[in-house]
């Protein structure tokens, strides 16, 4: 009898959690109806970032090259920063390719 009561208690808690998740998921689309303006702003922001970030990465790489040529930074610093800038610039283009 104790086993049956514990099983019933566990099932009730799982049902309560499941119904709470379903209720929260159903309320999401209803509350998101008035967000078209915000969606438009975010899409504009995304398109501008996909344009600006690669240009900024190219300018930063140019500055790094000048700093390395002028012996202001060492080779290992140049390589670390250069690889980081290339990855950051490429990541924007890859995410734009995948999510648009």
Whether residues 20 and 58 fall in one domain = no
Q: Are 58 and 89 in contact (CB under 8 A)?
A: yes
Pair 48, 14 in one domain: no
**Same domain for 89 and 52:** yes
CA-CA-CA-CA torsion sign (41, 47, 50, 56): negative
Residue 51 sits in which domain range? 35-100
The 10 Å Cβ neighbour count of residue 9 is 10
Give per-residue pLDDT as tens, 35-60: 888 888 888 988 888 889 889 999 99
My answer on whether 6 and 43 are in the same domain is no
Tell me, yes or no, whether 14 and 51 share the same domain.
no
- The pTM for the full model equals 0.58
Which pLDDT tens digit goes with each residue over 22-35?
666 665 555 666 78
Looking at the 3D structure of the chain, how many domains does it have? 2
Average pLDDT for the chain:
80
What is the rounded average pLDDT of the residues 70-94? Answer: 91
CA distances from 100 to 33, 42, 81, 87 (A): 22, 13, 29, 20
């Amino acid at each position: 009898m104790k086993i049956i009561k514990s099983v019933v208690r566990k099932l009730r808690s799982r049902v309560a959690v499941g119904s709470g998740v379903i209720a929260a998921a159903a309320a999401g689309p209803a509350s998101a109806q008035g967000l078209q303006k915000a969606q438009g702003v975010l899409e504009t922001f995304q398109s501008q970032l996909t344009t600006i970030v690669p240009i900024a990465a190219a300018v930063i790489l140019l500055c790094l090259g000048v700093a390395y040529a002028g012996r202001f930074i060492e080779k290992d610093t140049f390589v670390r920063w250069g690889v980081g800038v290339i990855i950051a610039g490429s990541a924007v283009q890859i995410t734009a390719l995948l999510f648009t």
